Amino acid sequence: MGIISNPRSRRNWKVNLKQKIGPGVLAAAPTTNEGLTQALRSFATHNLDLLIIDGGDGTVRDVISAAAPIFGESLPLLALLPSGKTNALALDLGVPLGWSVESAIAAYTIGQVQMRRPIEVSRDGEAPLRGFIFGAGGFVMATEFAQRTHRFGAIDGLAVGLSLIGAVAQTCLGGSHNRWRLGDRVEIFNHATGETSVRDFYLLLGSTLSRLPLGIKPLGKARAGFDVLAVDAPPRLLPFSACAVVMGHEGGWLERLGYHHGHNIPPVRLTLQQGYILDGEQFPGGTIELRTGTPIRFVTP
């Protein structure tokens, strides 16, 4: 067994890693990408059966992105100890806050496993990033708003709810040149059809998760695969449309107003003028490739 712990995760600030682990568990608490890579390379020499990730969504993204080229097809089973400001993947997997190393090992022993396919985001000359929630346009600004709510102690579902309310308010109260309403110009190349289109989107949101915080359902009915919501800029009848979207409605009048849902999205190339968000962190815009990755096995309660 091995554990990668993020000492910067909110619930780890006052916890000593030694208090979490038992005998025979390899442990590392890297604070840089280079330290994370070194720790994973060291773990790989021990032929791990179980790799425990102690952190939030961003920590999971960093670990599974760095682990892919190190472990290849021999990636061990993963388990999560949700200790970050946001823990959407843990919520989707049914992993409770406060889950322990002992509980993860016990679940591994009896073979309680679920699989999730990550989103892979890549650009020329760089190794792919792997995560589970992708966003662009207004989602970038909403994430910036969420980071401000974290400073006041709002985490997990509360932060999501405040960010949603704040995004709608900022959009509705702004004028025609409000940066929320203008959105982001996105060029989309569909590898399956060979077609290119250019659209101004208020929001792009995509995920491979079945369940999101607060029970919101902006991607519509949960399906296997990469689901996407794309909202044209400027958004129309936003206060009413936003309520319908978060309740899981799709198609019909929402489609006619510019709220588009897509399911099991094939590989696409996006050119973004602004940046994008992957599991809570902002990355530079430009041309990126999006696709679903190889399923990852998670030990769950």
Instruction: Give the list of residues 6+ apart from residue 276 with CB closer than 8 angstroms, or none.
Output: 121, 134, 135, 136, 140, 204, 282, 283, 285, 288
pLDDT of residue 164: 65
pLDDT of residue 241: 92
Domain with 79 in it: what CATH number?
Answer: 3.40.50.10330
pLDDT band at 10 (very low <50, low <70, confident <90, very high): confident
More confident residue, 32 or 13: 32
**Residue at token pair 């970038």:** 140
| 138 and 112 co-located in one domain | no
Structural domain for 55, as ranges: 2-117
Q: Which amino acid is at 8?
A: R
Least confident segment among 142-156, 219-233, 245-259, 264-278: 142-156
Residue 251 has pLDDT above 90, yes or no: yes
pLDDT of residue 165: 62
pLDDT of residue 115: 96
- DSSP letters of the chain? -EEEE-TTSGGGTT--GGGT--TT-EEE--SSHHHHHHHHHHHHTT--SEEEEEE-HHHHHHHHHHHHHHHGGGPPEEEEEE-SS--HHHHHHTPPTT--HHHHHHHHHTT-EEEEPPEEEE-TTSPPEEESEEEEEHHHHHHHHHHHHHTTT--HHHHHHHHHHHHHHHHHHS-TT-HHHH-EEEEEEETTT--EEEEEEEEEEEE--S--GGG--TT-S--SS-EEEEEESSPSSHHHHHHHHHTT--SHHHHHTTEEEE-SPPPEEEEESS-EEETTEEE--EEEEEEE---EEEE--
| 104 and 208 co-located in one domain | no
Rounded CA separation 208/224 (Å): 7
Percentage of the chain surpassing pLDDT 70?
87
pLDDT of residue 59: 96
Last residue within a domain, chosen from 87, 117, 147 = 117
| 82 and 151 co-located in one domain | no
pLDDT of residue 154: 45
| 165 and 55 co-located in one domain | no
pLDDT of residue 213: 85
Name the range with the highest mean pLDDT among 110-114, 154-158, 176-180: 110-114
Domain with 253 in it: what CATH number?
Answer: 2.60.200
Q: What pLDDT digit, counting tens, does each position of 175-233 carry?
A: 666 777 778 999 999 998 899 999 999 999 999 999 988 888 999 988 888 999 999 99
**Total domains present in the chain:** 2
Angle CA 265–247–253, to nearest 5 = 75
| 155 and 271 co-located in one domain | yes
More confident residue, 86 or 49: 49
Q: Across residues 51-80, what is the average pLDDT?
A: 96
Residue 11 has pLDDT above 80, yes or no: no
Least confident segment among 86-90, 168-172, 198-202, 210-214: 168-172
Last residue within a domain, chosen from 117, 145, 163 = 117
Query: pTM value?
Result: 0.89
> Quick check: bond before 234 cis, omega within 30?
yes
**What is the average pLDDT value for the chain, to the nearest integer?**
88
| 147 and 174 co-located in one domain | yes
Q: What pLDDT digit, counting tens, does each position of 28-65 carry?
A: 999 999 999 999 999 999 999 999 999 999 999 999 99
Q: What are phi and psi of 104, to 5 degrees?
A: -65, -40
Instruction: Give the list of residues 6+ apart from residue 291 with CB closer than 8 angstroms, or none.
Output: 119, 120, 226, 266, 267, 268
pLDDT band at 272 (very low <50, low <70, confident <90, very high): very high
More confident residue, 167 or 281: 281
pLDDT of residue 160: 58
pLDDT band at 152 (very low <50, low <70, confident <90, very high): very low
Alpha carbons within 13 angstroms on the beta-carbon side of residue 3 total 24
